Amino acid sequence: MLLSPEEIISKSWRDYVKNWHDWAIYSLILFIPGFVLVLSGSFGGYLNTSFPATSLPTNIIILLLVIASAVMWFWSYLALTHAIGKYLKVKETDHWKEHYTASLGFFWPAIFVSIIKGALVIVGTLFFLVPGIIFSVWYAFIIFGVVHFGERGWAAMKSSKELVRGRWWGVTWRLVLPMVVFGVGVALANALSLLLLSFLPLTSESNALLGNVVSSLFTAVFTPLTTIAVMNLYFNLKENPVEEILPMPVS
């Protein structure tokens, strides 16, 4: 039997709070790329404005930082996904370095399926919108298949779609509601922090920079929570496959 959205929310929150110390290291490492991008963007803008002659090398350096940050973030997300999966299965995790090491084995397969999924969703959204939404739900679980079951390429995409087949609306509801609830919580916490920051005697530029850093921090802190929610649904779907309806025999 599938968990209700409310059960997914409560179970995910318990898993997150009970083991916050396990997820904290991943949140910290996930925060680093965002922090680097915020600082490099602000510093790069300053250099381009104050020293226009340096704009080309500055932009090249920023581009390299963006690429390095994206790689670091994705690797960290895979390691987090690997750790959460093991916790949900056996209620324990390995040292964080072991999860990072393990995630190297499926880094490129995960990149490949993520690119294919992103392309399908973007094309479907640009041309007809509705197919983009449908694709985003069909392929919401491809990374987990790669990480935990060794699925590759189109096999990972087919496996994710099979989990959704025949219950698209139910899966969509169970995906969206926890994300909305947790997203509202993050947004409120972030808004309160920005309000408090507005009382500090800072320039508008410094206040905006600090606000972006705080927003990146909140996103990193709550990424394990949203990932746990989606993975709770994923394993619940795996445990409750859609039964095949066999055709009636012809007499």
* 152, 157, 159, 164 alpha-carbon torsion, rounded to 10°: 160
What is 108-140 written as a DSSP string?
HHHHHHHHHHHHHHHHHHHHTSHHHHHHHHHTT
Q: Considering the domain boundaries, does residue 91 fall inside one?
A: yes
Q: Considering the domain boundaries, does residue 215 fall inside one?
A: yes
Number of structural domains found in the chain: 1
Sign of CA dihedral 19, 232, 95, 76: negative
Using a cut of 0.85, tell me whether the model's pTM lies above it: yes
User: Which residues span the domain enclosing 20?
Assistant: 5-239
pLDDT at residue 247 in the model = 53
Q: Considering the domain boundaries, does residue 251 fall inside one?
A: no
Q: Are 148 and 86 in contact (CB under 8 A)?
A: no
State the amino acid at position 169 in one-letter form: W
Q: Considering the domain boundaries, does residue 247 fall inside one?
A: no
Q: Considering the domain boundaries, does residue 29 fall inside one?
A: yes
pLDDT, tens only, 145-183: 999 999 998 999 999 999 999 999 999 999 999 999 999
Q: Considering the domain boundaries, does residue 244 fall inside one?
A: no
Q: Considering the domain boundaries, does residue 55 fall inside one?
A: yes
Q: Considering the domain boundaries, does residue 212 fall inside one?
A: yes
pLDDT in 10s for each residue of the chain, 251 residues: 899 999 999 999 999 999 999 999 999 999 999 888 888 877 777 777 777 767 788 788 888 988 999 999 999 999 999 999 999 999 888 999 999 999 999 999 999 999 999 999 998 888 778 888 999 999 999 999 999 999 998 999 999 999 999 999 999 999 999 999 999 998 998 889 888 888 888 787 778 888 888 889 999 999 999 999 999 999 999 999 887 544 555 54
